[in-house]
Structure 1
Amino acid sequence: MTDTADTTITVHGTVAAGFEGVREEFAAALAADHTEPGSQLAVYHHGRLVVDLWAGEGVDGDSLPAVYSSTKGAAHLVVALLIQDGVIDPDRTVASYWPEFAAEGKDGLTVRELLGHRAGLIWADGGFTVEELADDRVIAGRLAGQRPYWTPGTEAGYHALMIGALTGEVVRRVTGRSIQELFEERIRAPYGLDLHLGLPEELEPRYMAIRPAVATPEQRAEAAANPLDLDSLTALAFGFAEDPPLDLVALANTRAVRALGPASVGGVGSARGLAGMYAAAVSGLDGLPPLLTPETVAEAGRVRWKGTDVVTAQADPFALGFEAQQGHYPALGEGAFGHSGAAGSQAYADPVNGVAYGYTRRRFALPGGAAAENERLSAAVSEAVAKV
């Protein structure tokens, strides 16, 4: 590994021989972002850490930012393990595990359809406080009797703040344990990952608070010309239709959310932690075997339904709770899977090429989801891997 630096912005960390181009793209991406750079990037190749970079005042490789929906990847890795163990059958109905869920015409929805964001439970009547959004059991209790916003199984729509509580309740009914407990016991602790679904108090000094986005004049003009329809499914799913609208930055920066680690958005971790989780899943890590069998890896990246998401109005196919990644990053191998996060984080496994990727940001990226620089960073990683 070689130390790295750049004359425009100081880049700290190391890259393995052959991955110098990734460092250059990381520096260039940060230099182009005038809203205050502050990011981490980590990449494993066949279980070996080959990129470990960070930049920004007050940011280091051990900083622990909120990773928002990249948390869903951690939560659904737990579900994938339980499916692999034969404990959960994805083609059984949710109600067969969780009888109360059958209310309001939800009795026929399968676990696989739930993982594909097809339940229609993107919010609940009456809304949620931040304290309620921190607690998956509270969310699940409210959603069990909720009338869905579309006929379950007929459409797919991103359950941004709800999905982890829904799948988590299935896990709880089957195992008697929470997703957070099982993630800690089966994944985080054995593999030594710096990724937490429930940040311990003693690690709070390492938390890197998320900062609000800074819009360019062009982005402000675009928002003014095309205001969000507060009656839309988009506004509903992200809490923007509430009065006052949900503040996603404040949500992640709330200690109760970090402490309980809600499985939709409450994870806290470094880029190393995110990439390490996917390396542990598909390649193994530090002498430990991979968590997933080849058959489960294939299933984790297999898309069963394609179409336009009725919440995001985008083509964002889900595979066993993970986002299919090849449509976002064409250089990845078939079956790549992972999950982005609202502040700009991205994390995925590319099993074909043996890559596990993790990226975090300190400042919220616009318009949300994986920050734009992930495209050039991912391409640089793929290019390096093709040559080594």
Structure 2
Amino acid sequence: MTYDITVHGTVTPGFEGVRDAFATVLAEDTTEPGSQLSVRLHGRTVVDLWAGEGIEATSLLPVFSSTKGAAHLVVALLVQDGTLDLDRAVASYWPEFAASGTETLTLRELLAHRSGLVGADPRFTDEELADDRLVAERLVRQKPLWEPGTAYGYHAVVIGALTGEVVRRATGRSIQELYEERVRTPYGLDLYLGLPEALEPRFVPVRPMAPTPEQARTLTAFPPDPEGVFAAAFNLPTDLAVWANIPVVRARGSASAGGVGSARGLAGMYAAAVSGTDGAAPLLTPATAAGFARLSWPGTDLVTGAEDVFGLGFRRSSGQYPALSEGSFGHSGAAGSQAFADPEQGIAYGYTRRRYAYPGGEAPENTPLVDAVVRAVRGA
């Protein structure tokens, strides 16, 4: 089948190579291409591209775990304000948390995915998983899958519910409410933790991707899961690509994976965080940004098998893309979305795609796209 791969949008002079890389990615995609790419440099838009049938600049797509970046930007702001203390026990904010054997676990350790509360037995229903408060209530009754604080593993679909309950206990407000008030509305971002019904016509559902026979063979061997930790973390009621398209999921905006937005929205959020936009000061001080980006505990992720992945709530983007500065931070999403800030180079990057990127996580085309962005920035 032949697909329309016409590239729409603009780039600032000097960033033509990014447009070329975007066109190449589309031409090489045989699985129904459709994506958006937005880049800001020191708060100013330098790349604004989109392509694919049904994809516009203003299309809103599920961004899966890129949602975690928005949720934990709120946590970073509360730490910066002094409302939250990273080295205070989670149970001091949320007494019921101690019931699961995690009474000494600190907020810093929770943000670094060290609680061991990665899933529930029996598994969540679709509607339960969309409800952060219910997820949090069930998780505190679970036995951790490892001794809390001794190791880390990706809390893929629950971390936002856990950190969100800490926020709720400390402020009386949800992460979603605080994100809307302090981040999305002031900066006019097309990135939502709870999609308003009026914006439903702009929603573009992600489309699942069936693995090729070779990919299916690879999946049977990856990741190694002798303790069943990966299975517990992804013990989902439905396929994740299907779950994100359910109306209640995008309406509630689960802080782990229920966000909906555009590449412009993702890049705009990280620009607001570290560079500021339209004359406004950055949301985060350099010290706060560096603290949340820093690797606190090196080691192997017990869920994914990856090495040295997390700062606090955010992924360490320089570990994925060596062209980025050490203090870069952000979060990818299962369908292939990617978003991050590189404070040193002044880059804020957002990428979405319509077709689920097998087997999940940041789509591989982000590597040449990020490399092209960095080349252009250094050339400029």
Do Structure 1 and Structure 2 share a fold, with TM-score over 0.5? Answer: yes
State the Cα distance separating 1:146 from its structure 2 match: 1.6
* 1:41–1:53 Cα contact (<8 Å) kept: yes
Specify the alignment match of 2:9 in structure 1: 13
Equivalences for residues 202-213 of structure 1 within 5 A: 202-213=198-209
Partner-residue secondary structure (3-state), 1:24: helix
Whole-angstrom CA distance in 2 between matches of 1:248 and 1:14:
33
User: Equivalent residues in 2 for 1:233-382 (5 A)?
Assistant: 233-239=229-235, 246-382=238-374
Match of 2:161 in 1: 165
C-alpha distance in structure 2 between counterparts of 1:296 and 1:229, whole Å = 35
Does the CA-based 8 Å contact 2:36-2:57 persist in structure 1?
A: yes
Opposite residue 379 of structure 1, the aligned amino acid is D
Give the alignment partner of residue 181 of structure 2, picking from 185, 192, 198. 185
3-state SS of paired residue (2:376): helix
Q: What's the CA shift for 1:316? A: 4.4
Please list, as runs of the form range in 1=range in 2, the aligned pairs for 1:51-90 lying within 5 A after superposition: 51-90=47-86
Q: State the distance in 2 between where 1:337 and 1:30 align.
A: 26
Cross-structure match for 2:29: 33
| One-letter code aligned to 1:261 | G
User: TM-score w.r.t. structure 1 length?
Assistant: 0.95
Unaligned runs of 5+ in 1: 1-6
Quick one: distance in 2 between partners of 1:89 and 1:19?
A: 41
TM-score, with length taken from structure 2? 0.97
Separation in structure 2 between the aligned mates of residue 261 and residue 229 of structure 1, nearest angstrom: 30
Contact 1:305 1:317 in 2 (8 A): no
- For 1:50, the aligned partner's letter is V
Matching residue within 362, 381, 385 for 2:377: 385
CA gap of 1:225–1:353, structure 2 versus 1, over 3 A, is: closer
Whole-angstrom CA distance in 1 between matches of 2:192 and 2:233: 24
Q: Distance in 2 between matches of 1:260 and 1:226?
A: 32
164-173 vs 318-327, greater mean Cα deviation: 318-327
Runs (4+) of structure 1 exceeding 2 A deviation are 214-218, 220-231
Which residue of structure 2 aligns with residue 3 of structure 1? Answer: none
Mapped to 2, the partners of 1:95 and 1:226 lie a distance apart of: 35
Q: CA deviation at 1:11?
A: 0.3
Match of 1:198 among 194, 201, 212: 194
Residues in 1 aligned to 2:181 and 2:312: alpha-carbon distance in whole angstroms: 21
Q: SS of the counterpart of 1:353?
A: coil
| Structure 1 position 218 matched with structure 2 position 210 | no
Q: Assess if the C-alpha contact under 8 Å between 1:238 and 1:246 holds in 2.
A: no
- Answer with 287-296 or 33-42: which moved more: 287-296
C-alpha displacement at 1:124, in angstroms?
1.4
Query: How many residues of Structure 1 are paired with residues of Structure 2 in the alignment?
Result: 378
Root mean square deviation, CA, Å: 1.6
| Alignment CA distance shift 1:289-1:162 (3 Å) | same
Identical amino acids, percent of aligned pairs: 66
Q: Distance in 2 between matches of 1:254 and 1:215?
A: 22
Provide closer, same or farther for how the CA distance between residues 51 and 215 of structure 1 changes in structure 2, counting only shifts above 3 A: same
Bigger CA drift: 286-295 or 105-114?
286-295
User: 1-side partners of 2:338 and 2:223: how far apart?
Assistant: 27
